[in-house]
Amino acid sequence: MNRTILCLSFLLVASNIFSQDVTGIWSGSLNIQGTSLRIVFNIEKNDSTLVSTMDSPDQGAFGLPTTRTTHTDNKVEIVATGLGILYRGTFEGDSISGTFSQGGIPFPLTLKRAEEPVIHRPQTPVEPLPYISEEIVITDVSTDISLSATLTLPDSAGIFPAVVLIAGSGPNDRDETVFGHKPFFVISDHLTRNGFAVLRYDKRGVGKSTGDYSIATINDFVQDANNAVKYLKSRKEIDSSKIGLIGHSEGGIIAPMVAVENDDVKYIVLMAAPGTSGIEIVLDQNENSMKYNKFEPETIEKIQVLNKEIFESLLEWNGSDNDRTALRDKLSYLWEQLPILVKLKIEKEPYLRSQFNGMITPGYRSFLASNPKEYLEKVKCAVFAINGGNDIQVPAEKNLTAIMETLHNKGNTNVVTKLYPELNHMFQESITGQPDEYAKIEQTFSPQVLSDITDWLKRQIDLLSYPIKTY
């Protein structure tokens, strides 16, 4: 969810390992410029498929999803395409010896079996659950991509209103798992207990879903969300006149796009959704990051000019030799503008390689090219837009104002916005709002926000059932 370009430390994320006796917790340490950084892979078996998550305890990161885990003979491979991570190793006895690469930069990494760490996430629902939870597959015949999903239904007779949960940027699973938190599981659980059917799914190329996340764009994710809505309409338990969407972060860009394409979407909740362009969002994130790291104001101003130039050039990117050379030259010049203390911590070539590889991905470039206003101005259904005052990834006041003004300017007055002063991008009660807090906070999702979303959705259902007559 964080699109910040300035990598002041390596972001190390999860992968997938597994098969028979390779399941379990595997821990090792990377040596990065004399600094030891622990890496933990949690490998499980789901039916005949290996799945895994990754922890980076020293960075406060837990439960990071991966895209593929394989174990053939004695060879283990873990891939997290959206994060540019690849681990390959040889499995012998109680160790896996191999190489961990991120952004093409290799580090030796030997993993040993470890005991399960204790992570307190008290809001994560615990079975038995008082409702129906059904594993389903949504297949798009035009692309042959299948989304693995969970549909939860109240355990009672009836036809239910429904919502589709749309995750933010990154290779998210159906629970939007991050740092051991499962916010979409918490939201789904709460809404289903309150009478709603809820559909949540692994992104294409993640978990049990097929496809390739690394080449996916926002338009691809819109197609996936549309297929989720279409699936709900096919179920006899769902009231097809009462279907809505809840989008978080980048999912809040996707939700209005789906609503515009699909008249059956009657209400949308936008959680920490951008109301400004992708480039503006990333520039804001960079500015917040540089201020947090105490860059001088003149340095921030100079770097932001370069950042804007780089981002705008990526809108015209076609992968030619000229494009590649120009981008490398711009990144090299940007490197020279960084404070000396930053450059002492990060080697130039690995930094340039990591930035280059991340920027040219289709997903990143499609985010930069996004302009939520183009779709928000066409949205006719009810909208509830919310954000936390401590959100440093999608600044709350600026983006909520942009969402409200765009909708109102085009005549949609069925809009409510709300800012929660102490909440961060994940809707946790926080102090600074910085991402390094996410893992340290036990709370997964604000109970107040859960209540507000539920109450707002129920009001929309009442209005759809008993519309106000005008004379």
CATH number of the domain enclosing 97: 2.40.128
- Statement to judge: residues 69 and 34 lie in one domain: yes
How many CB atoms are closer than 10 A to CB 322?
9
Same domain, 146 and 102: no
> Is residue 448 a part of any domain in this protein?
yes
Domain end marker among 333, 368, 403 = 368
The reply to whether 239 and 382 lie within a common domain is: yes
In the structure encoding, which two tokens stand for residue 346, read together? 């990060």
For residue 192, give every residue at least 6 positions away whose Cβ sits within 8 Å of its Cβ, in sequence order, or none. 131, 152, 153, 154, 198
Pair 66, 89 in one domain: yes
Contact 460, 382 (CB under 8 A): yes
Quote the strand ranges of 376-434, DSSP E: 382-388, 415-420
- Alpha-carbon distance 178 to 167, whole Å? 11
Same domain assignment for residues 162 and 214: yes
Q: Are residues 439 and 406 in the same domain?
A: yes
Q: Say yes or no: 260 and 395 in one domain.
A: yes
Residue 190 counted as domain residue: yes
Rounded CA separation 209/195 (Å): 27
Residue 343, pLDDT score: 84
Measured in Å, how far apart are the chain's first and last C-alpha atoms?
47
CATH number for 202 = 3.40.50.1820
Against a cut of 0.95, is the pTM above it? no
The residue among 2, 8, 1, 62 whose CA lies nearest residue 32 is 8
Assigned domain for 12 exists: no
Q: Which one of 349, 368, 387 terminates a domain?
A: 368
The string of pLDDT tens digits covering residues 12-63 is 332 333 334 788 889 999 988 777 888 999 888 776 678 888 888 777 677 7
The enclosing H or E element of 12 equals none
What are the residues facing 38 on neighbouring strands?
29
309 and 422 in a single domain? The answer is: no
Q: Are 386 and 393 in contact (CB under 8 A)?
A: no
- CA pair distance 240, 232, nearest whole angstrom: 7
121 lies in a domain? no
How many CB atoms lie under 10 A from the CB of residue 405? Answer: 14
Quickly tell me which residue has 């302009």 as its tokens.
Answer: 371
- Does any domain span residue 471? no
Residues 382 and 357 in one domain: no
Residues 92 and 170 in one domain: no
Which pLDDT score, from 0 to 100, does residue 117 have? 63
CA atoms within 13 A on the CB side of 161: 22
Q: Per-residue confidence of the chain (471 residues) as pLDDT tens digits?
A: 454 433 333 333 323 333 347 888 899 999 887 778 889 998 887 766 788 888 887 776 777 788 889 988 889 999 887 677 899 999 887 899 999 998 778 889 999 988 766 678 999 999 999 999 999 999 999 999 999 999 999 999 899 999 999 999 988 999 999 888 999 999 999 999 999 999 999 999 998 999 999 899 999 999 999 999 999 999 999 999 999 999 999 999 999 999 999 999 999 999 999 999 999 999 999 999 999 989 999 999 999 999 999 999 999 999 999 999 999 999 999 999 999 988 887 778 878 888 898 899 999 999 999 999 999 999 999 999 999 999 999 999 999 999 999 999 999 999 999 999 999 999 999 999 998 889 889 999 999 999 999 999 999 999 998 765 443
Is 10 inside any structural domain? no
Kindly give the residue spans of alpha helices, DSSP state H, lying in 338-377: 340-345, 348-359, 362-369, 373-376
- Compute CA distances 17 → 88, 170, 176, whole Å: 10, 19, 19
pLDDT at 116: 63
Tally of domains within the chain:
3
Instruction: Read off the tokens for 90.
Output: 């040889």
CA distances from 400 to 11, 56, 238, 283 (A): 29, 33, 31, 17
Q: Cis peptide leading into 128, omega within 30 of 0? A: yes
The boundaries of the domain holding residue 44 are: 20-113
Domain boundary residue, one of 87, 113, 139: 113
Same domain, 234 and 253: yes
pLDDT at 217: 97
Within a domain: residue 258? yes
Instruction: Flag whether 2 is in a domain.
Output: no
* Sequence-ordered list of residues with C-beta below 8 angstroms from that of 369, at least 6 positions apart, any chain: 278, 315
Q: Do 343 and 401 sit in the same domain of this protein?
A: no
